[in-house]
Structure formats: C-alpha cells, structure tokens
Structure 1
C-alpha cells in the first residue's frame, strides 16, 4: 500500500493513470503531453509498474501500457475506511459541541 500511495504522490504519474482509465496506450502517447525527456518519463512508469498499478507489454517496437485495477481498488478501500472513521469522529465531536452549547444556554 505504501508503494501505491508513493506512486500516486506525483502529478505526472496521476496524469498517466487518468489517461489509462480510458484504455491501454503506447508509451509514446503517454509521454507526449509531458514536458520531460523520455528517460525521466520512463522512471515515472517504472515507479507505477513497481507499485503494481500498471503493466506493460511489448509487441514489436511498441510498448503498450495498461492499468491494473486491484492496487487502485485497495487504495480506494483504505481511503473509504479512513473516511468512515473520521466521519464518525466528526459526528461525535459535533454532537458534543451541540450538547455543550445546549447546557451552556440552559444553565
């Protein structure tokens, strides 16, 4: 999970993921909108691949990249659990604040 969140921390890598949601793409297409040298871009792809977020396959001279859903789904599940925990905490804090305000107005 740490590798997934580390990979998602960079805007270039998030842009690659957003593009791959629409379907597989060759590396050259993924690289095109980014103002960086290909070796630097390939390091970003390597980070995504080592986190298990993407996979690539070379056919002839073209390397095509596709997204792997499982790591993204696991991160989403973790975030949803955290959201529910914090929602419960904030709901209890809000109820306490309302209770204290009511006591102060009644007293």
Structure 2
C-alpha cells in the first residue's frame, strides 16, 4: 500500500490526544486495520472517518471497547438494512410503473 495514503499512528494519536494502546485495542477487536512498515505503525487514510467516530465514542461518551464493538456492529447492520430498503423501493417503483 502507498505510504502517501496512510497516516502515521503516532502522529494521529498526538493530534487526537489518545494513547497508541487504544489503536492496538481497536485492531485486536477487529474494528480497524493498521499496517506496520519499517517498525512504524500506519492507519490507512480510508479508515480515518471510522477511526475518528470510534475515538469520539470513547472520549465524549466514555464507552468502553466492548460497547464500541456493539455500536459498530449495530451501525453496520443499520447501513445494510438501509441499502436493502433502497433496493426494494427501487424494485417496487419499477413494477409500479
């Protein structure tokens, strides 16, 4: 993966005032992916929005890692169900015309 599309985890942690151990906890829980290159840890840029959401859950709402896992799972289910509803509405509109 291109280094330009990755954010150094240390810099990210300093910017967001979090411990690097939180990043490792999220990785162990399967909530994010991290990449190690030359003994430095990176976060893929496409995961930043999701990672920032997880940090807000931790910092602003004081939710533990298990709660974050549950919330993430439920949000994914909601998104999937919304996509299914949209597909069904499109099919219904096709047959109504």
TM-score range, shorter chain: 0.3 to 0.5
TM-score by length of 2: 0.38
TM-score by length of 1: 0.35
Greater relative contact order (CA < 8 Å, ≥ 6 in sequence): 1
